[in-house]
Structure 1
Amino acid sequence: MAVNAPADTVTLTIDGREVTVPRGLTVLQAAESVGIDVPTLCNHEILEPVGACRMCVVEISPGPPRPMASCTTPAADGMTVKTDTDEMQQIRRQTIELLLQHHPLDCPYCDQSGTCELQDETFGLNIWSSPFETVSKAFPEENLNEVIMINHNRCILCYRCVRVCDEQMGVHALDVSDRGSKSFIVTAQHKFMDCERCGMCVEVCPVGAVLSRPFKHQARAWQTVQTQTTCPHCSVGCQLQLESRKGTVLRARARPVAEPNRGILCGKGFFGWEHVNDPSRITAPMIRRGGELVEVGWPEAIEHVGDSLLEIARREGPESIAVVAGNELSVEDGYAFARLARGALGTANVYQAESGFAKAADAIEAHLGTAALFPDQDAVLNSDFALVFGADVNGTHNVLAAHMKAAARAGQMSYATATRVGSGLDVFANSKLRIKPGDEISFLEALAEPTAESAAALGIDSAQLSGLAGKLKNAERAFVIWDTGAWTRGREAEIATAASRLASTTGATLCPLPETANAAGIWRAGIGPDLLPGRIPADDSESQAALGTAWNSPPTGCGRDFAELSSSGELAALFLAGIEDSAQLPGGTVNAAALDDVRLLIVQATHAGPLTELADVVLPGAASAEKDGHLISFEGRANHLEVSVPPPGHARADWEIAARLAEYVGFGFGHRTSSGLWQELGSFGVAQHQPGDPPAIKENGQVRQPTADLPLVLANETNLFSGNRNLRRGEVLSGIYSECVEIGSSDADWLGLSGGEQAVLRSAFGSVDVEVQIDDRVPAGVVYLADGLTGAAGEQLYPGGADGRPVSLRKAGPA
Structure 2
Amino acid sequence: CILCRRCVRFDDEIAAEGTLIIEERGHLNTITTMDGQEYNSYFSGNTIELCPVGALTSELYRFRARPWDLSKADAICTHCPVGCNVRLEYRHGELLRVTSRENDAIDNGWLCDRGRFNYKYLQNRERITRPLVKRDGAFVPVTWTEAFRVIAERFQAVAAAKGGEGFGVIGGGKLANEEAYLLSKFARLVLKTNNVDHRADGRIAASVGAYAGRQTDLSAADVILIVDADPAETAPVMDLRIRRKADRKEARIALIGSVMPHYRGRHARIQLKPGETAGVLRALAAAVGGGKPGASAADPEAVQQMAALLTGGKRVAVVWGGEGAAAGQALLELAGALKAAGRLVSVLVSGAQHNSRGAEAMGLLPGYLPGFAGVAEKRGREAVAQVWAAKQLPAETGLDTRGILQAAAEGRIEALLIAGANLMNTYPDRRLVQAALEKAFVVATDLFMNETVLLADVVLPAAALGEKSGSFTALDGTVQTFRVSKRPEGQAQPDGDILVGLAAAMGVKLSASPAQTAAEIARLVAKLEDGTVLKGAPVSLIQGAQEPEPAPAAAGQNALWLVPVDRLYAGGSTARFDSEFNHVQPRPVALLNPADAARLGLSRGDMVELAAGEAKLALPVEISKRVVAGTVQAIRGLTAAPVNLLTAGAAPVAVTVAKLAVEVAD
TM-score band, normalised by the shorter chain?
0.7 to 0.9
Shift in alpha-carbon separation, 1:457–1:321, aligned structure 2, 3 A: closer
C-alpha separation between the residues in 2 aligned to 1:798 and 1:574? Answer: 23
1:326 aligned partner = 172
Q: CA deviation at 1:353?
A: 3.7
The 8 Å contact of residues 624 and 641 in structure 1, kept in 2 or not, is answered as no
Q: CA deviation at 1:732?
A: 4.9
Shift in alpha-carbon separation, 1:534–1:588, aligned structure 2, 3 A: farther
- Out of 253, 269, 287, the position equivalent to 1:415 is 253
- What is the one-letter code of the residue matched to 1:711? A
For residue 514 of structure 1, give the secondary structure of its aligned residue in structure 2. coil
The 8 Å contact of residues 725 and 790 in structure 1, kept in 2 or not, is answered as no
C-alpha separation between the residues in 2 aligned to 1:699 and 1:658? Answer: 33
Q: How does 1:134-533 map to 2 (within 5 A)?
A: 155-359=1-205, 361=207, 364=208, 370-372=209-211, 374-424=212-262, 426-428=263-265, 430-449=267-286, 458=297, 460=299, 462-484=300-322, 488=323, 492-507=324-339, 508-533=345-370
For residue 221 of structure 2, give the secondary structure of its aligned residue in structure 1. coil
- What is the one-letter code of the residue matched to 2:335? A
Mapped pair 1:719 → 2:551? no
C-alpha separation between the residues in 2 aligned to 1:730 and 1:238? Answer: 20
- What is the one-letter code of the residue matched to 1:299? T
Mapped pair 1:610 → 2:451? yes
Question: Which has the greater radius of gyration?
Answer: 1
Shift in alpha-carbon separation, 1:327–1:429, aligned structure 2, 3 A: farther
Tell me which moved more, 321-330 or 731-740: 731-740
Q: CA deviation at 1:385?
A: 0.9
Deviations 1:490-519 (CA, angstroms, capped at 9, x unpaired): xx2111011111112222433332331111
- What is the one-letter code of the residue matched to 1:681? I
Deviations 1:268-296 (CA, angstroms, capped at 9, x unpaired): 21222233233221111011222211001
- What is the one-letter code of the residue matched to 1:383? A
1:537 aligned partner = 374
For residue 391 of structure 2, give the secondary structure of its aligned residue in structure 1. coil
User: Percent identity, aligned pairs only?
Assistant: 27
- Out of 763, 776, 784, the position equivalent to 2:612 is 763
For residue 305 of structure 2, give the secondary structure of its aligned residue in structure 1. helix
Q: CA deviation at 1:620?
A: 0.7
Q: CA deviation at 1:626?
A: 2.2
Deviations 1:391-441 (CA, angstroms, capped at 9, x unpaired): 3222221111111111333454332223435423x2145434533343222
- What is the one-letter code of the residue matched to 1:807? T
C-alpha separation between the residues in 1 aligned to 2:293 and 2:519? Answer: 51
C-alpha separation between the residues in 2 aligned to 1:596 and 1:620? Answer: 21
- Out of 639, 642, 663, the position equivalent to 1:793 is 642
C-alpha separation between the residues in 2 aligned to 1:802 and 1:435? Answer: 15
1:569 aligned partner = 411
The 8 Å contact of residues 280 and 296 in structure 2, kept in 1 or not, is answered as no
Deviations 1:628-687 (CA, angstroms, capped at 9, x unpaired): 2222222111122333433211111111100111222222234433x5423321211378
1:811 aligned partner = 660
The 8 Å contact of residues 612 and 653 in structure 2, kept in 1 or not, is answered as no
Shift in alpha-carbon separation, 1:506–1:694, aligned structure 2, 3 A: farther
Shift in alpha-carbon separation, 1:703–1:760, aligned structure 2, 3 A: closer
Shift in alpha-carbon separation, 1:550–1:802, aligned structure 2, 3 A: closer
Higher RCO (CA < 8 A, seq sep 6+): 2
C-alpha separation between the residues in 2 aligned to 1:735 and 1:347? Answer: 42
Shift in alpha-carbon separation, 1:803–1:729, aligned structure 2, 3 A: farther
C-alpha separation between the residues in 2 aligned to 1:804 and 1:207? Answer: 53
Shift in alpha-carbon separation, 1:752–1:637, aligned structure 2, 3 A: same
Shift in alpha-carbon separation, 1:557–1:318, aligned structure 2, 3 A: closer
C-alpha separation between the residues in 2 aligned to 1:165 and 1:751? Answer: 38
Structure 2: tracts of 5 or more residues without a match? 340-344, 527-534
Shift in alpha-carbon separation, 1:749–1:625, aligned structure 2, 3 A: farther
The 8 Å contact of residues 425 and 639 in structure 2, kept in 1 or not, is answered as no
- Out of 584, 592, 597, the position equivalent to 1:743 is 592
For residue 167 of structure 1, give the secondary structure of its aligned residue in structure 2. helix
The 8 Å contact of residues 234 and 567 in structure 2, kept in 1 or not, is answered as yes
The 8 Å contact of residues 514 and 520 in structure 1, kept in 2 or not, is answered as no
C-alpha separation between the residues in 2 aligned to 1:702 and 1:429? Answer: 33
**Root mean square deviation of aligned Cα:** 3.3
- What is the one-letter code of the residue matched to 2:234? T
Q: How does 1:10-29 map to 2 (within 5 A)?
A: none
C-alpha separation between the residues in 1 aligned to 2:523 and 2:155? Answer: 29
For residue 215 of structure 1, give the secondary structure of its aligned residue in structure 2. coil
Q: How does 1:122-137 map to 2 (within 5 A)?
A: none
Q: CA deviation at 1:617?
A: 0.8
2:505 aligned partner = 664
C-alpha separation between the residues in 2 aligned to 1:584 and 1:402? Answer: 26
Number of aligned residues:
641
C-alpha separation between the residues in 2 aligned to 1:389 and 1:629? Answer: 32
For residue 212 of structure 1, give the secondary structure of its aligned residue in structure 2. coil
For residue 617 of structure 2, give the secondary structure of its aligned residue in structure 1. strand
C-alpha separation between the residues in 2 aligned to 1:689 and 1:718? Answer: 24
Q: CA deviation at 1:175?
A: 0.9
- Write out the 4+ residue segments of structure 1 that deviate beyond 6 Å after TM superposition: 451-457, 585-588, 686-696, 698-704
Structure 1: tracts of 5 or more residues without a match? 1-154, 365-369
TM-score by length of 1: 0.72
C-alpha separation between the residues in 1 aligned to 2:578 and 2:103? Answer: 29
Mapped pair 1:578 → 2:417? no
C-alpha separation between the residues in 1 aligned to 2:355 and 2:249? Answer: 32
- What is the one-letter code of the residue matched to 2:221? S
C-alpha separation between the residues in 1 aligned to 2:456 and 2:540? Answer: 42
- What is the one-letter code of the residue matched to 1:493? A
Mapped pair 1:683 → 2:539? no
- What is the one-letter code of the residue matched to 1:785? A
